Structure 1
Amino acid sequence: MPLSGKRILVVEDEPIIAFALEDMLLEDGADVVAVGSLEEGLDQAEAGVFDFAILDINLHGEKSYPIAFRLGSKGVRFVFASGYGDAEHPEELAHVTTLTKPYVLADIRNIAVGG
């Protein structure tokens, strides 16, 4: 299982999408921490130790960029996720991959494992 042993943070405000993504990652061997708000995501990014993160861009009308900056400062790889296609990010985050929902496990594997 390609994601075996990887600790992944999922920040997603839509419960059905979060549960489906969490199940997909767990089945692939990952250890998953899923939260649904900017505040919870910031708390996890600060306190937790992660190999990778998937950040929904829009969290109840707030952008997940503060979480991205915190993870980046700790050297954690991450991607953004959006149901609206590719998004324009702040210049400092323009290099970050944006996955389009619905999620494709192969895309997550490729990025999380170092592709």
Structure 2
Amino acid sequence: MPLTGKRILVVEDEPIIAFSLEDMLLEDGADVVAVGSLEEGLDQVEAGTFDFAILDINLHGEKSYPIAFELVRKGVRFVFASGYGDAEHPAELADVTTLTKPYVLDDIRDIAIDN
């Protein structure tokens, strides 16, 4: 399985979407840590080591950019996720891929496994 052995952080504030994504990643062999808020996401990035992350852009009215900047600092590959299509990100994050929900496992694999 392509994601076998990858430790993936999922930051998603909608429980049904988070559970669905977590199940999809677990079935593909990933080790998943899923959280639902900006604060929890920052705590996880600070405390843990991840191979990849999927960040919902909007978390209960807050942007996930502080988590993104911390992931960049730590050299962790990640994507943004949005139910609204492509979003306008801060200039420093303009090159980060934005996946549109619902998630497609092949899209996640392509980015998570690249390089």
TM-score range, shorter chain: over 0.9
- The alpha carbon displacement at 1:101 in A equals 0.1
TM-score for both structures, normalised by structure 2: 0.99
Q: Provide the rounded CA distance (Å) in 1 between the counterparts of 2:13 and 2:45.
A: 16
Give the aligned residue type for 2:113. Answer: V
Match of 2:65 in 1: 65
Structure 2 residues without counterparts, runs of 5 or longer: none
Q: Provide the rounded CA distance (Å) in 2 between the counterparts of 1:69 and 1:114.
A: 20
TM-score for both structures, normalised by structure 1: 0.99
1:41 is paired with a residue of what secondary structure? helix
Instruction: Give the share of equivalent positions with the same residue, in percent.
Output: 88
Q: Deviations over 1:58-113 (max 9, x none)?
A: 00000000000001100000000000000000000000000000000000000000
Give the aligned residue type for 1:98. Answer: T
Moved over 4 A (4+): none
Match of 1:78 in 2: 78
Structure 1 residues without counterparts, runs of 5 or longer: none
Match of 2:10 in 1: 10
Match of 2:95 in 1: 95
- 1:101-112 to structure 2, matched below 5 A, reads 101-112=101-112
Count of aligned pairs: 115
CA RMSD of aligned residues (A): 0.6
Q: Provide the rounded CA distance (Å) in 1 between the counterparts of 2:114 and 2:99.
A: 15
Q: Deviations over 1:11-61 (max 9, x none)?
A: 000000000000000000000000000000000011110000000000000
